[in-house]
Amino acid sequence: MVFRRRHAACALSVILAAASPARAQTAQASAEAQALRAAIDGLKRDFDQRLAALETRLAAVESAQQNPPAPAAAAPAEPAAAGTGASVTNAKVFNPDMAVIGDFLGALGRTTPANVGVTPEPLLQMHESEASFQAVVDPYARADFFLSFGEQGVDLEEGFLTFTELPGGLLTKVGKMRAAFGKVNALHNHVLPWTDRPLVINNLVGGEDGISDAGVSVARLIPNPWLFLEATGQVFRGDSGPDENPLYRTSHRGQASFVGHLRGYQDLSESTNIDLGASVSRGYNASGVAEGNDDFTTRLIGLDATLRWRPLQRSIYHSFIARSEVIWSRRDQPSGLQSGSGFYVSADYQFARRWFAGVRFDGSDRADNAALRDTGGSAILTFWPSEFSQVRGQYRRTNYAIGPAANEVLFQFQFAIGAHGAHPF
């Protein structure tokens, strides 16, 4: 019996001795599993917390989009914690860019005598208020409208549709637009470097209204390895210029006017570039209509050159622009063909961030009587309080063909509110 007990104890000891390593391994595996489970649980909790935070932010953004807060009257702007570019950009998707640009003009000094055929500028005038509406129409086109509010009425300065990706690399515009004749004709008042337009534009190219008409414009880049070259062809209804002294006037549908323009541009260096252009235009004038002759035409040829210098590293402080245009006019008149010409040369230097100084010399024959020639010169000083307003003073001396010289001081305040799209270079 004792022998049996001893054997039983020995057998139990052997079994326990043999089983102890396996038990240790099982315990270790169990500990690792628990650790992994704990890690997974921790990750789950962290993931759930982050997901909940993201869902809360998403709900807040969606709520803000559905119920946009009313703008506080005079609440100070406080930075918010977060936001994406997409959420802000989408806010104006259905509204065009809108802006109003005011142009206030004053004139002092000896007024232009009324008998020389030139309308003198008044002492003070709200010369123009330009309202602009610009937006993308669809993936194929964009629209631009510019309404000009004067003291006497409203005029559609420009309103056109631009197709940006037609076959053949054609850039096509339809609507009412300023013609691509030279440089100044295509510029709106608020981007002119002067308070007025040069004599050659007033005498030969329809003045402030210029060649601006309803029509179709097609422009194409001409590929070449040397320079930027663009050819533009435009067809207009044929009515341009002010009512009292029109450049082109039609008597019937077959009297459309045409404009052709070739532009070459080249960077001379990183800071300097040159822009050259040649323009032609032809249309019918109404000078012979009273005598029963409605096929009198006016033909224009123009050359323009612009030299720009703007050092990139100091581009907001210093720049220089020299520009010139020469225009020849051949106009049928009841008295015979009138062949006149005119020019302007201008230079503007930015000597500080907000200050510009410039000079201009110009001269021009008159379109309907080329024997009369006006000449003039101006000195201009411009101050920019900000990018959205400018104050300009201009001393202008003009030797009109008839009458004494006019010495005038013109001053101008321009100011912009809203988002006004950039104009072509």
Partner 1 sequence: MKTWFNTVLAFVVLTSPSFAQGKLNVMTTTEDLASIAREVGGDRISVESIAKGYQDPHFVEAKPSFILKLQKADLLIVVGRELEIGWLPPLQQQSRNGKIQAGGAGYLDASLGAQIMEIPTGQVTRAMAAKSSVDDITLSFDAACALIVSVKAAARVEIIFMGIVL
Q: Which residues bind partner 1 (CB under 8 A)?
A: 71-80, 82-86, 88-89, 136, 139, 142, 162, 164-166, 169-171, 221, 223-225, 228, 230, 263, 265-267, 270, 273, 275, 308, 310, 312-313, 315-316, 386-388, 419, 421-425
In contact, 304 and 182? CB cutoff 8 Å: yes
199/321 with CB nearer partner 1: 321
Q: Which amino acid is at 18?
A: A
Shortest CB 285 distance to partner 1, Å = 33
Shortest CB 145 distance to partner 1, Å = 16
Shortest CB 252 distance to partner 1, Å = 35
In contact, 285 and 331? CB cutoff 8 Å: yes
Shortest CB 98 distance to partner 1, Å = 14
In contact, 419 and 96? CB cutoff 8 Å: no
Alpha carbon of residue 336 to chain centroid: 42
148/306 with CB nearer partner 1: 306
Identify the DSSP state of 166: E
185/287 with CB nearer partner 1: 185
Shortest CB 164 distance to partner 1, Å = 5
The H-or-E segment that residue 14 falls in is: helix 2-66
Shortest CB 155 distance to partner 1, Å = 24
Structure tokens at 375: 């000449």
How far, in Å, CA of 411 to CA of 191, rounded? Answer: 15
Shortest CB 28 distance to partner 1, Å = 41
37/140 with CB nearer partner 1: 140
83/150 with CB nearer partner 1: 83
Identify the DSSP state of 240: B
171/289 with CB nearer partner 1: 171
Q: How many CB atoms lie within 10 A of CB 103?
A: 21
Give residues with Cβ within 8 angstroms of 369, minimum separation 6.
338
71/254 with CB nearer partner 1: 71
66/224 with CB nearer partner 1: 224
Q: What is the dihedral of CA 233, 236, 242, 244, to 10 degrees?
A: 130
Shortest CB 334 distance to partner 1, Å = 42
How far, in Å, CA of 422 to CA of 319, rounded? Answer: 19
Which residues are 134's β-sheet partners?
Answer: 97, 144
Nearest to 327 by CA among 317, 342, 316: 342
Shortest CB 310 distance to partner 1, Å = 7
Q: Where are the beta strands (DSSP E) in 203-285?
A: 212-221, 228-236, 257-267, 272-284
137/405 with CB nearer partner 1: 137
How far, in Å, CA of 414 to CA of 120, rounded? Answer: 21
Shortest CB 424 distance to partner 1, Å = 5
Which residues are 101's β-sheet partners?
Answer: 130, 416
How far, in Å, CA of 88 to CA of 97, rounded? Answer: 15
17/77 with CB nearer partner 1: 77
94/425 with CB nearer partner 1: 425
Nearest to 416 by CA among 178, 130, 127: 130
In the block, which residue shows the tokens 């989009």? 65
Shortest CB 278 distance to partner 1, Å = 16
Q: Is 210 exposed, middle or buried (0-12, 13-18, 19+ CB in 10 A)?
A: buried
Nearest to 360 by CA among 341, 381, 389: 381
